[in-house]
Structure 1
Amino acid sequence: MEIPVLQQTVTAQKQPGKTGVLIVNLGTPDSPSVPDVRNYLREFLMDGRVIDIPVVSRTFLVNGIIAPFRAPKSAKVYKDVWTVNGSPLKYYGEVVERELQTALGEDYVVRLAMRYQNPSIEAGLTAFQQLGLTEIIVIPFFPQYASASTGSVYEKVMEIVGKWQVIPKISFTNRFSDHPKFIEGFVRLGRKYMAQQEYDHFLFSYHGLPERQILKGDVTGQVCKFGDCCQSMHAMNQYCYRAQCFDTTRRLVSELGIPEGKYTTSFQSRLGKNPWIKPYTDEVIPQLVQKGAKRVLAFSPAFVADCLETIIEVGVEYKELFEKNGGEHWQLVESLNDSPIWIETLVDLVKRAAY
């Protein structure tokens, strides 16, 4: 006699209990005062993933040279970006924390953290630990993966939870530069300005990294050549920060309908004399003017919240450089900040990680 086989359909369901969602941005000084800026610079630059040189050399460089001399200059710039709500980066993070909590509902507990300074990653994780959550989802606010940003958040989280007796399920969002809603968010902002007037050229400026950090990520030693290797995404360069940036530009350009020859991808914020990934934004700008670009729309798609690097560096300093060389109109496209589509993006990232 044939025995019937019982078939069971397994449906993915969320486990009972609450899920913690830790959203993490880079960080900001507690205030624009010189001591607070110095403390921030020390914590940030002493991270071995940010300045990847031996610890003795890094300690001398940061504590003996950079922090003492750069803090007073940086404090003046931070005062220019500070608002009645404090640091824009932290303020937008706090708004997003509230909006995301509302959107996700009572099954989730959302906490904002900064990789450097406050609120700290440790404070957020400790709060989760005391709540007895079923799982924790960590979303670094960096669209493109880099060891110095996303990788550093991973390392810090694992350093903290590695000391716990009970470690719950932990999920990380690696990158989201190709997420349709993330792309659509910047497309909407770009279209807003493109509807107001015509632009000769479109600049996509990303935060830079030392070339040596990109080379370290090429474990084969055969892929990264700083040439055509970044002109497409594939399995062997999917974690290359430079390749991800070029891919982000291609996606935005396609959605915005920008023709070839009318846009440029470049990299800003380089520090020191060692080579950083190219082309450099401050060298590209004069070249654009020389080629006839008089009106430029500038994007900063490596940032999800406006900060010193967007407001001051791209919005003010590059505008002055552009006009000094003969340019007429420079417009910065703001970051996603607390826009509804950014909240939608985060909800989708959480839901994907939770199942």
Structure 2
Amino acid sequence: MQVQEPQVSSEKSVATKLKTGVLIVNLGTPDSPSTPDVRKYLREFLMDGRVIDIPYAFRWMLVNLIIAPFRAPKSAKVYKELWTERGSPLKFYGEDIEKMLQAQLGEEYDVKLAMRYQSPSMDAGLELFKKSGYKKIIVVPFFPQYASASTGSVYEKTMRIVKEWQIIPEISFVNTFYDHPKFIEYFATAARNYMAKQDYDYFMFSYHGLPQRQIRKGDCTGNTCQFGSCCDTIHSMNQYCYRAQCHETTRLLVKQLGLKEGTYATTFQSRLGSDPWVQPYTDVVIKELTAQGKKKILVFSPAFVADCLETTIEIGEEYREMFEEFGGQHWQLVESLNNSPMWVDLLEDLVKKA
């Protein structure tokens, strides 16, 4: 009697070939430090209605007639200081992480790097997932704390792209990781390396700023946000508040490092325009600290996962020069996650939980 070989289900065979697409998304960077490329980047970035949240006509005039023409040449000079042989750190660190995360996740996943503004584009990354028939797409914005102008913009762009697709696969978004144990552990470990070599009399946690009006817009109750003690804890009414999440990151790092009350501050940098932004401002606090006789400060920038213009240049150089000008002696910036293995471990955890 002839024994027949067991038949393998074609459905099972197809299923084993299906993959999950992982789109990791950072803010963006100019294609080069030339003035035309910087101007192009600024126009795309600042014309986003979630970044400058004013009516389109006024935003168009502000960006195209004032900011881009006059700011681009100045910004281009700063980008030239930042640029390396590999290009923009924000981009090449992203490329490193793309390869490292792909190796760690394995063949069941395909990892693609994208930028919210400029290249590589989100359109190209998502189109690749569409054409290849992925069973699921996971979008991971590279912003630890949620803000409408960053994470929210990535969500909106994703939905704007896929709404035209005939078949939309399951899509998951990573929302935040400001309190993830590995995120806190990374900065605490990096800080301890500096603290082992130098005694610091103050610790500053500097986050990217936001206009106060954007924080208020996110207050679903209309009266929770007071820019004060309302951010002392995370609860249901402020769980998506950028300011509250920043303060929570600080609290977790302070606890991990065992810092004493009165030896640290949460501040906000990079404000633009005359409207009030989230306070206290980093540059103002620097002046106050030097007036109090603080000489040695260790600075964290936990709103960024890759060192960039806002960390390397603004905090690492401009604020250091200001600190020294007012009498400070030692100013040290703790580096961002960049291409560290711990960052890859964190991302793997986020992806698999998504």
TM-score (norm 2): 0.95
Specify every segment of 5 or more residues in structure 2 that has no aligned partner in the other structure, as ranges: 1-14
* C-alpha displacement of 1:15: 8.3
Residue 227 of structure 2 corresponds to which residue in structure 1?
Answer: 226
Moved more, 72-81 or 288-297: 288-297
- Residue by residue over 1:78-108, the C-alpha shift from the partner in whole angstroms, topping out at 9 and shown as x without a partner, is 0000000000000000000000000000000
Give the secondary-structure state (helix, strand or coil) at the position aligned to 2:125.
helix
The percent identity for this pair of structures is 69
One-letter identity of the residue aligned with 1:295: K
One-letter identity of the residue aligned with 2:119: N
Residue 163 of structure 2 corresponds to which residue in structure 1?
Answer: 162
* C-alpha displacement of 1:16: 6.5
Is the contact made by 2:295 and 2:327 (CA closer than 8 Å) also made in structure 1?
yes
Is the contact made by 1:20 and 1:137 (CA closer than 8 Å) also made in structure 2?
yes
Residue 214 of structure 1 corresponds to which residue in structure 2?
Answer: 215
Residue 3 of structure 1 corresponds to which residue in structure 2?
Answer: none
- Moved runs in structure 1, 4+ residues, more than 4 A? none
Is the contact made by 1:223 and 1:229 (CA closer than 8 Å) also made in structure 2?
yes
Residue 248 of structure 2 corresponds to which residue in structure 1?
Answer: 247
Residue 192 of structure 1 corresponds to which residue in structure 2?
Answer: 193
RMSD (CA atoms): 0.9
How many pairs align? 340
After TM superposition, the structure 1 = structure 2 runs for residues 1-355 of structure 1, keeping only pairs within 5 Å, are 17-353=18-354
One-letter identity of the residue aligned with 2:254: V
* C-alpha displacement of 1:291: 1.4
Cα separation, 2, equivalents of 1:216 and 1:132: 38
Distance 1:312 1:247, change over 3 A: same
Is the contact made by 1:16 and 1:134 (CA closer than 8 Å) also made in structure 2?
no
Cα separation, 2, equivalents of 1:15 and 1:188: 40
One-letter identity of the residue aligned with 2:151: T
Give the secondary-structure state (helix, strand or coil) at the position aligned to 2:120.
coil
* C-alpha displacement of 1:351: 0.5
Give the secondary-structure state (helix, strand or coil) at the position aligned to 1:232.
coil
- Residue by residue over 1:156-177, the C-alpha shift from the partner in whole angstroms, topping out at 9 and shown as x without a partner, is 0000001000000000000000
* C-alpha displacement of 1:220: 1.0
Cα separation, 1, equivalents of 2:128 and 2:81: 33
Residue 8 of structure 1 corresponds to which residue in structure 2?
Answer: none
- Residue by residue over 1:38-77, the C-alpha shift from the partner in whole angstroms, topping out at 9 and shown as x without a partner, is 0000000000000000000000000000000000000000
Cα separation, 2, equivalents of 1:173 and 1:16: 24
Cα separation, 2, equivalents of 1:282 and 1:229: 24
Is the contact made by 1:15 and 1:134 (CA closer than 8 Å) also made in structure 2?
no
Is the contact made by 1:93 and 1:112 (CA closer than 8 Å) also made in structure 2?
yes
Cα separation, 2, equivalents of 1:347 and 1:174: 15
Is the contact made by 1:199 and 1:295 (CA closer than 8 Å) also made in structure 2?
yes
Cα separation, 1, equivalents of 2:92 and 2:258: 33
- Residue by residue over 1:202-252, the C-alpha shift from the partner in whole angstroms, topping out at 9 and shown as x without a partner, is 000000000000000002111000111011110100000000000000000
One-letter identity of the residue aligned with 1:232: T
Cα separation, 2, equivalents of 1:34 and 1:53: 26
Residue 10 of structure 2 corresponds to which residue in structure 1?
Answer: none
One-letter identity of the residue aligned with 2:130: Q
Cα separation, 2, equivalents of 1:159 and 1:241: 24
Cα separation, 1, equivalents of 2:246 and 2:260: 18
Is the contact made by 1:78 and 1:308 (CA closer than 8 Å) also made in structure 2?
yes
* C-alpha displacement of 1:345: 0.0
Cα separation, 1, equivalents of 2:258 and 2:337: 20
One-letter identity of the residue aligned with 1:270: R
Is the contact made by 1:100 and 1:110 (CA closer than 8 Å) also made in structure 2?
yes
Give the secondary-structure state (helix, strand or coil) at the position aligned to 1:112.
strand
Give the secondary-structure state (helix, strand or coil) at the position aligned to 1:212.
helix
Give the secondary-structure state (helix, strand or coil) at the position aligned to 2:24.
strand
Cα separation, 2, equivalents of 1:16 and 1:230: 47
- Residue by residue over 1:12-35, the C-alpha shift from the partner in whole angstroms, topping out at 9 and shown as x without a partner, is xx9862000000000000000000
Cα separation, 1, equivalents of 2:208 and 2:299: 13
TM-score (norm 1): 0.95
Cα separation, 2, equivalents of 1:96 and 1:115: 17
